[in-house]
Amino acid sequence: MTDRMPASPRSRLPLFLGGLALGAALATAVSFALRTGDGDVKAPPEERQAAQLPVAVACPPSAVVPAADAKDGQARFDGATDASKSIVSGKEAAASGRDRDAEAAFLAACRVPVQPGNPKATLLRADAMYNLARHYASLAEEGASGSQDMLKRAGSMLDYALAVYQSQLGQSDEKVQFALRAIATIREHPKQAEQRPRADAVSRPTEAVVGELPRPAVPKSQTRTAAIEKRPAAATGGGAPSPEPKQAVTITAPTAKPSFDCAKARSTPERLICSDEELANQDRELGRIYARAKREAPDPAAFQRLSDREWRRREAECRTRDCLLDWYAERRRQLLGQ
């Protein structure tokens, strides 16, 4: 019996080549595992997000809102570099009735240069377009001249803002819902909008509601203890058994009442206010400030127009307690300033 001779380098060559082939196969498998369903290699989240951004829409080329008075249209926002600050300035101008200044501020925010593929900057531009579109829509609802042009501008900007919000924030984000509601509103025929019943207008400030601020009756559904709905027992003699008692869903009534009748509350903000003691107190206090500011307003019609504008903003955008608290603080500051 002879000893086995060690394998020569030439005899080990097939093993070496087989190892290379196996390594290449593993690398190919890993590459395919990293690919998405459409065959593209997965990119980092920020790169995927940037790739999904919609094609940019141009900002309006010029201002179209007329000055509300001699003080309006005097502010200068040319050369603005901070879109977020310009948006805040636009909101403050709109709340104070300086419609032309509000448009100029939102336009400045929209025109801040955006680097391609920068999701954060693109989101700010979408915010600027959304606020400018909402400003146009509010003016159109108030019957401002040039309403048709404003609504046309608002439509394209809201479509762009919606696409950005959906791509960056997801379908369930509140900004997506705001944009959807705004789009639905501006696409209604003006006459239909005028004839639409204001089922959610119970909390709109009026002298009839906040003049003496009476305490409204507590709705029957707002009891302090849970009620059980009893059903009649089934008849004897083989009748079907009676259903199980049904638990009625109730809301604990707050100690303080808001300035409006909670029995007529319909909108989400109104229901939140009626179910929260602090919000109800804030609403009642704001009602007192509102009544005083309206009595001292030099132009009652203009005062009511701006008040309705801010009320519509609350109804359209506030879906949380924190949003309502911020709105009451801001509105209180506005009225005290007047």
Please state the three-class secondary structure of the chain as a single string: CCCCCCCCHHHHHHHHHHHHHHHHHHHHHHHHHCECCCCCECCCHHHHHHHCCCCCCCCCCCCCCCCCCCCCCCCCCCCCCCHHHHHHHHHHHHHCCCHHHHHHHHHHHHCCCCCCCCHHHHHHHHHHHHHHHHHHHHHHHCCCCCHHHHHHHHHHHHHHHHHHHHHHHCCCCHHHHHHHHHHHHHCCCHHHHHHCCCCCCCCCCCHHHHCCCCCCCCCCCCCCCCCEECCCCCCCCCCCCCCCCEECCCCCCCCCCCCCCHHHCCCHHHHHHHCCHHHHHHHHHHHHHHHHHHHHCCCHHHHHHHHHHHHHHHHHHCCCHHHHHHHHHHHHHHHHHC
User: What pLDDT, on a 0 to 100 scale, did the predictor assign at position 9?
Assistant: 53
User: What pLDDT, on a 0 to 100 scale, did the predictor assign at position 133?
Assistant: 95
User: What pLDDT, on a 0 to 100 scale, did the predictor assign at position 116?
Assistant: 81
* Identity of the highest mean pLDDT range in 21-35, 120-134, 231-245: 120-134
Stated pTM of the model: 0.64
Residue 11 lies in a domain: no
Residue 17 lies in a domain: no
Instruction: Specify which residues 35 forms β-bridges with.
Output: 41
Regarding whether 160 and 211 lie in a shared domain, the answer is: no
Number of domains in the chain: 2
Q: Which is more confidently placed, 324 or 316?
A: 324
The Cα–Cα gap between 264 and 140 comes to 28
Average pLDDT over residues 7-30: 54
Regarding whether 190 and 75 lie in a shared domain, the answer is: yes
Please report which confidence band the pLDDT of residue 338 belongs to, taking 50, 70 and 90 as the band edges.
confident
The Cα–Cα gap between 224 and 67 comes to 52
Regarding whether 217 and 156 lie in a shared domain, the answer is: no
The 10 Å Cβ neighbour count of residue 225 is: 7
Q: 135-139, 249-253, 283-287 — which is least confidently predicted? A: 249-253
Residue 133 lies in a domain: yes
Q: 82-86, 120-124, 247-251, 316-320 — which is least confidently predicted? A: 247-251
User: What pLDDT, on a 0 to 100 scale, did the predictor assign at position 96?
Assistant: 87
Output phi, psi for 228, to 5 deg. Answer: -115, 125
Residue 12 lies in a domain: no
pLDDT tens sequence across 181-213? 889 888 874 544 444 444 445 787 754 444 444
Give helix 119-141 / helix 174-186 axis angle, nearest 10°. 40
Q: Which is more confidently placed, 193 or 176?
A: 176
Residue 108 lies in a domain: yes
Q: Are 271 and 298 in contact (CB under 8 A)?
A: no
Regarding whether 254 and 187 lie in a shared domain, the answer is: no
Q: Which is more confidently placed, 221 or 112?
A: 112
Please report which confidence band the pLDDT of residue 234 belongs to, taking 50, 70 and 90 as the band edges.
very low
User: What pLDDT, on a 0 to 100 scale, did the predictor assign at position 201?
Assistant: 57
Average pLDDT over residues 37-60: 54
* Confidence check: pLDDT of 39 > 50: no
User: What pLDDT, on a 0 to 100 scale, did the predictor assign at position 7?
Assistant: 54
- Domain of residue 278, residue span: 207-227+248-337
Regarding whether 74 and 132 lie in a shared domain, the answer is: yes
The Cα–Cα gap between 237 and 222 comes to 39
User: What pLDDT, on a 0 to 100 scale, did the predictor assign at position 64?
Assistant: 93
Regarding whether 223 and 176 lie in a shared domain, the answer is: no
The Cα–Cα gap between 200 and 181 comes to 15
Regarding whether 181 and 68 lie in a shared domain, the answer is: yes
Regarding whether 327 and 300 lie in a shared domain, the answer is: yes
Residue 322 lies in a domain: yes
The Cα–Cα gap between 285 and 283 comes to 6
